[in-house]
Amino acid sequence: MDMQGSGSSRPAARPVLQGSGAPAGATSARPAPTQATGRFDPTVDAARLLRRVGFFTLVFLLPIGAVVSRRAAVILTPIAVALLVLASLIDRAPQKPLIAIRNAFMTPGGVAALVLLGWAIVSISWTPFPETATDKVIQIGWMTLIGVAGVASLPERVRTANLHLIPVGVAIGALGALALGAFRAQDVNAELMDADPLERGLVVLAVMIWPAVAWLVSRRRVLGACVLLGVVAVATCVMPENAALLAVAVGAALYVITRLTGDRGVRVIAVLMPALLALAPLFPLILRPFLKFFHGPLYPGAVALRAWAEETGREPLRMITGHGLDTSIRARVAGFLSPDAPRTLPFEIWYELGVVGALAAAVALGYAIFASRRHNNPALTSGIVACFGAAFTIACFGAANAQSWWLATLGATIITFVAIQRGEFRNVRPAAGLRKPAPPPAG
């Protein structure tokens, strides 16, 4: 068919010179470029746009919005995951992440996590507050599903342009927290400003700082990572509650330890942190005498440990099954539990789920920390361990635990770490080499 008579705008192929050994009028053997159509494929462009907006919402808007809104994490995380899932459906991403998630749940840590969730569901049958416990299980299951869907929707290779938003969002959120803290210190509209969003925002920053630090260090921007960590540490000082500040300090200490000791430090932390959760009922026997000796018997920590010991001695069999999900807070209001009892994660999980739930949580936590050694990037491994330490510290202070905004924050942080792992395929620029000239044609 004649190309010129077909109305096509593509020019005719040039004839090859006679001296080249090919007959005159023969077309070139080089195939026509086929990447032009793929480069401007509207479906691929739409998927990239949705994925960019999803990352923008997850790692940029979330740390900023958490400083000014109490429900920022609960609202923004599902929106971001929905955009990521829609992008993966448009560009028909391979289903290998689903296989990886399935394999993760088949590990000892995944099985322990499923046992913990199943035991929490079973405990509804003997909890004195079944309605609120059912609502809590639904919230936990919904946030877990969102996290799994977010991880499964990530492509095998994440664009580095999306990951550069991680430290920017944390930095702007920390500066916003500093500004709000300065206004509160000067009593400028202090009565109209609610302190709870700022406290939650600082907790979110104390956790999401570690993906940002891991990304900056992996890109060999150590000075920027140190400056960002310092800004977040200063921002956590604007509120009198020191849970966020202590979480940043613990995370920084674990980061330095794991970078200096490598796998050995990760293994030690993977044993010590779950041991604190599994052996928590021994704390009243070990720590209370020291607190009484140094601070007196009326010290709040000593009083809380005494209430824990009295509750354990009152119903020792309940240490096996627990009192049921969502009873530690409701029992204080109803008068079943002393108001001086601790408000920490170890006490709550032992009081609500007993030894079965506590051991399952300890195994899941230990295996998750130990599994971070699989990454070839030391900066990413140290960031994951530091994030575990910061989150565990916040939970031990009773600042979050199983609340929806806290679970949404943890889900967003996990998705960010997985994205960083899949964005490390370009961490080393390939060396440029000289191309050898093609040999002259025969004849």
Give me the average pLDDT of each 10-residue run along the chain (443 residues).
42 43 43 45 85 94 92 93 91 65 79 91 90 90 90 87 93 92 63 63 94 93 94 88 88 94 91 92 84 77 84 81 87 82 88 92 93 84 95 82 86 94 62 54 62
pLDDT of amino acid 313: 77
Report the alpha-carbon distance of residue 136 to residue 414 in Å, rounded.
Answer: 21
239 sits in the region (left: phi over 0; alpha: psi -120 to 50; else beta) called: beta
| Cβ-based burial of 404 (10 A; exposed 0-12, middle 13-18, buried ≥19) | middle
Q: Record the tokens describing residue 386, joined without a space.
A: 């530091």
* Distance in angstroms between the alpha carbons of the first and the last residue of the chain: 32
In a domain, 403, yes or no: yes
Residue 102 within any structural domain of the chain: yes
Stated length of the chain? 443
Q: Judge residue 316's burial from the number of C-beta atoms within 10 Å of its C-beta, 0-12 exposed, 13-18 middle, 19 or more buried.
A: exposed
Per the domain annotation, does 150 fall within a domain?
yes
Kindly state whether residue 36 falls inside one of the protein's structural domains.
no
pLDDT at 367 (0 to 100): 92
Structural domain boundaries, residue 339: 43-425
List all residues 6 or more positions away from 102 whose beta carbon is below 8 Å from its beta carbon. Answer: none
Report yes or no: 38 and 75 within 8 Å, Cβ to Cβ. Answer: no
Look-up of token digits 């679970």: 407
Write down the pLDDT at residue 186: 60
On whether residue 405 sits in a domain, the answer given is yes
- Residue 288 located in a structural domain: yes
Tell me, yes or no, whether 118 lies in a domain: yes
- With contact defined as beta carbons under 8 Å apart, do 433 and 167 qualify? no
d(CA 231, CA 229): 5
The pair of three-digit structure tokens given for residue 179, joined into one six-digit string: 């500004």
* Tally of domains within the chain: 1
Calpha distance 88→151 (Å, rounded): 11
Which among 303, 299, 357, 300 is positioned nearest to 325, based on CA atoms? Answer: 357
Q: Dihedral, CA atoms, 227, 232, 237, 242, nearest 10 degrees?
A: -130
Identify whether 230 is part of a domain: yes
Long-range contacts of 280-286 (CB under 8 A, 24+ apart): 280/346, 280/347, 280/350, 280/358, 281/308, 281/312, 281/319, 281/350, 283/308, 283/346, 284/308, 284/309, 284/312, 285/309
How far is residue 34 from each of residues 27, 39, 41, measured CA to CA in Å? Answer: 18, 9, 12
pTM over 0.85: no
Residue-level pLDDT at 316:
78
